[in-house]
C-alpha cells in the first residue's frame, strides 16, 4: 500500500512597520512584549525555521534556542555551532523537508529577510503584526503580492501590554487557491 504524501503547511510569521521594517543592526527595533507573547503562543509545539542571523539574535538574547519548539536553522557555515546549541541545521529552506519534518503538520518561517523572500512563493499562511510606528531600520520584509492573499482576520491591538512601545495590528492571511 502506498502511503499518502505528507502535506506541510508553511506559515510565515513576522512583525513589521507599515513601511516593511523588520530589523535594525541584527535585532528587533522595538519593544513589544505582547507581540512576543503572541508569537510564543502561536509557535509553541511547532517547528520554527530561521536563518542564521535570526538564530544568533535568539541565542544572544536567550542563551538557547526557542523552548518547546523544534528549531531549524538554514545555514551552510555554522552547522556545528547550530547542532551544539540543540537546534537542527538545514542547508536550504526546502532541502530535506520530507525527511526532516515528517511529524510536523505546520511549520513557521520566523526570519530573516532572505527566508521570508524564499518562503513567500510557497507559504500557505502569513501572520503579520504591523507595528504602527515610523521606525528606522536596515532590514525590510520582501514585497508582498497581496493579489495572491486573502485577509482572513485583522485585529487592532492598542498597547495590550503596558510595556509595548507602539500600538499594533495583527493580520492573518491565507493564500488564494488557484
What would the pLDDT profile of 85-95 be if each residue is shown by its tens digit? 999 999 888 76
Q: With bands split at pLDDT 50, 70 and 90, how would you rate the model's confidence at 79?
A: very high
Q: Give the pLDDT confidence score for residue 107 in this predicted structure.
A: 87
CATH value of 9-175 in 3.10.350.10, 3.40.430.10, 3.40.640.10, 3.40.50.2020: 3.40.430.10
The C-alpha cell that represents 90 in the structure block: 538545514
Q: Give the pLDDT confidence score for residue 101 in this predicted structure.
A: 53
Strand 125-131, strand 70-74: pairing: unpaired
What would the pLDDT profile of 124-162 be if each residue is shown by its tens digit? 999 999 999 999 999 999 999 999 999 999 998 866 788
In the chain, what percentage of residues exceed pLDDT 90?
78
* 15 vs 131: CA distance, rounded Å: 7
Tell me which residue of 19, 13, 12, 14 sits closest to 138, measured CA to CA: 19
The C-alpha cell that represents 125 in the structure block: 499562511
pLDDT > 80? residue 58: yes
Question: Full-prediction pTM beyond 0.95?
Answer: no
Concatenate the DSSP letters of all residues of 100-131 into one string.
H-TT-SEEEE---HHHHHHHTTT-SEEEEEEE
Amino acid at each position: 500500500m502506498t502511503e499518502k504524501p505528507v502535506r506541510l503547511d508553511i506559515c510565515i510569521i513576522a512583525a513589521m512597520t507599515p513601511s516593511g521594517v523588520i530589523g535594525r543592526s541584527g535585532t528587533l527595533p522595538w519593544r513589544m512584549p505582547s507581540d512576543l507573547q503572541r508569537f510564543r503562543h502561536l509557535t509553541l509545539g511547532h517547528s520554527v525555521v530561521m536563518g542564521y542571523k535570526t538564530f544568533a539574535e535568539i541565542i544572544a538574547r536567550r542563551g538557547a534556542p526557542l523552548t518547546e519548539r523544534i528549531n531549524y536553522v538554514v545555514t551552510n557555515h555554522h552547522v556545528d555551532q547550530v547542532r551544539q546549541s540543540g537546534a537542527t541545521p538545514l542547508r536550504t529552506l526546502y532541502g530535506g523537508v520530507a525527511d526532516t519534518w515528517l511529524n510536523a503538520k505546520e511549520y513557521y518561517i520566523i526570519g530573516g529577510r532572505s527566508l521570508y523572500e524564499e518562503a513567500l512563493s510557497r507559504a500557505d499562511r502569513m501572520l503579520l503584526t504591523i507595528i504602527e510606528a515610523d521606525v528606522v531600520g536596515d532590514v525590510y520584509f520582501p514585497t508582498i503580492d497581496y493579489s495572491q492573499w486573502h485577509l482572513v482576520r485583522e485585529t487592532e491591538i492598542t498597547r495590550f501590554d503596558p510595556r509595548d512601545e507602539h500600538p499594533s495590528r495583527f493580520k492573518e492571511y491565507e493564500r488564494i487557491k488557484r
